[in-house]
Structure 1
Amino acid sequence: MNNKLLVLLPASLISVAAFGGVSKDTVVVKSTSSVDTVVSKSSSIVKHNIASVKENVDTVVVTVGKRGLYVSEDLNGDVSVWTSKHKKKEKNFYSHLSGFGLGVNVYLNKDGAMKLPDQYKDMDLNVSKSINVVLNLFDVSQPLISNKLAITAGVGTEWHNYRFSEDITLVKENGVLKTKALTGNVVKTKLTDWWLNVPVALELNGGKYNSFYASFGAVGSLLLNSHTKVVTRDGGKQKDKNWNAFYLNPFRVSLMAKVGYGNFGVYATYSLVQMFQEDKGPELYPFAAGVTLNF
């Protein structure tokens, strides 16, 4: 180490210690051939190295806490001294958007009730068997405040199973959706749709994965396919699937909420877009709620 730098080093350490708020620390410098280390001991900080010194050619870097002091000698022998504050290491944000969800789904009228229009009243649902399945495959996040608040987005998929309580199925007739009564020993009849989802949400959590979290946002969805399924038992079990869009809106935007702790939570979604195309079917809005296992 250059002699002039050695003369300035003790004064630099005293200056940085005073500037960094550690004036009571005792700084001991131990020099090696390549790297100098500074160990600090005080009544408030024990067995922690909060200062370091590194020599690089004609520059000595002195670090105390979050402060750095640079001492450099140029070719003419002039010495420059300056300080800087170290950038705080960014912490990761732990999103809870990805996961598997299982719940029930229904459709509501424009007033938020389950009462159906008279001409579609036989579309009443068996709610306990109307199963909603959500699978969010992966997500990304952009922290807004430290590692506790962030915008998260992802890609996933979702299935709605609307299990009819009456023995009916859906058909397209004269450009509109209608119900058709079924005969025989009907075991099951339902409408199923499958969606590609892109959720975007604002999430607040405790700064780590195993913490309480709350997430609110929206889900954009694209219809992939849909079908009705009728299962009867007349002289043997028979299944009949009819693959058709049934005038379902191909795009959907839903409000989303998700709260929980760590790997577990509850979720709810409500579509802002009608389930069926306007004037093609009843004015209904899908709603789903359930539990989720995050990963």
Structure 2
Amino acid sequence: MKQFYTILLGLLCSFQLHAQKTDSLKVSRPGAAGQLNIIQPHGVVTDGFNYWDDEFSGHWSGIHLGLNGFTNEDYSMYPEEEHGFLDVNLLRSTVLDLNLIQFSKGLQRTRNTIGLVSGLGLQLQTYFLDKKTSIEKVGNRIEPIEQFYDSKQKSKLSSAYLTIPLLVEFQVPVKHYGNRAYLAIGVVAAKRMSTHTKVKYRENNKKEKLKTPDDFYMHDFRLSGMVRLGYRFINVYASYDLQPLFVDEKGPELYPFSVGIALFSF
């Protein structure tokens, strides 16, 4: 009898062990191809929702319109009665910038608020002369010439330039990541492509114009300091030439400047 209970107890223990073995779950580790990706909060922030990963984008390209004139004027090489012969009508003297190409490069590793901006543009510059005068090359310098046709005649000096900027731009998000105020400072190099004077007048009730192309002893290359700033749809700029308009001793010493706004940005 004791043997019977011993055998029965052994069978029960064996059955219990077998039941535990067959009912136990085996968790197999999936291979590399089927491995589950565990999403960690840090990975989401750095890989999926980190706004700073966006590329830096500056503010150069667009269509800009401004006013330009001269400052720091020196006519000491001319008789006193000829001083100011290149005085301009500031409100009619305009500059149009077509900045069609832009390159931007961020300077930070973990942010995108500071960067370099460059590109290529075309600048059309016009000075409306306040007096009824124009200019011409006489000998080794420019001289004023009076061309009086009627009381409503218009005289202007126009030039076209290719421009290449090199600006450092600082951006500050305001209330929203995409709304940024910015400040850009730097220089703009320009190559003069063409220059001409034009006098418009009426003769025998017909509109006439006298156009004279020349270089007028103006520099072929120009370097200007520039400041640009803006926020959203408001973008303004100012520039100041770092050299006079004319070659030394070839004309009055005049330093061009301009101020303007962006009509369109892209």
- Answer whether TM exceeds 0.5 for this pair: yes
1:124: how far off?
Answer: 1.2
Q: Is the 8 A contact 2:66 2:258 kept in 1?
A: yes
Structure showing greater radius of gyration is 2
1:226: how far off?
Answer: 0.4
Matching residue within 126, 131, 146 for 1:161: 126
Any idea what SS the aligned residue of 2:85 has? helix
The AA in structure 2 aligned to 1:163 is F
Matching residue within 82, 98, 104 for 1:141: 104
The AA in structure 1 aligned to 2:265 is N
Name 1:240's counterpart in structure 2.
210
Mapping of 1:58-207 within 5 angstroms? 65-66=42-43, 90-109=53-72, 117=76, 118=80, 119-145=82-108, 146-185=111-150, 186-206=152-172
User: Deviation string for 1:52-99 (max 9, x for gaps)?
Assistant: xxxxxxxxxxxx6349xxxxxxxxxxxxxxxxx98x883211211111
CA distance in structure 1 between the aligned counterparts of 2:57 and 2:188, rounded to whole angstroms? 20
Where do 5+ consecutive residues of structure 2 fail to align?
A: 1-25
* TM-score normalised per structure 1: 0.70
CA-atom RMSD in angstroms: 2.8
Name 1:224's counterpart in structure 2.
193
1:209: how far off?
Answer: 5.3
Mapping of 1:262-277 within 5 angstroms? 262-277=232-247
1:187: how far off?
Answer: 2.2
CA distance in structure 1 between the aligned counterparts of 2:98 and 2:60, rounded to whole angstroms? 10
Higher relative contact order (CA 8 A, sep 6+): 2
Mapping of 1:13-32 within 5 angstroms? none
* TM-score normalised per structure 2: 0.77
1:31: how far off?
Answer: 9.5
Confirm whether residue 290 of structure 1 aligns to residue 260 of structure 2: yes
Name 1:55's counterpart in structure 2.
none
1:263: how far off?
Answer: 4.0
- Number of residue pairs matched? 226
Matching residue within 248, 251, 254 for 1:281: 251
Where do 5+ consecutive residues of structure 1 fail to align?
A: 7-29, 39-49, 52-63, 68-84
Higher helix proportion, which one?
2
> Identity percentage over the alignment?
28
Q: Is the 8 A contact 2:104 2:117 kept in 1?
A: yes
Q: Is the 8 A contact 2:88 2:130 kept in 1?
A: yes
CA distance in structure 1 between the aligned counterparts of 2:62 and 2:83, rounded to whole angstroms? 35
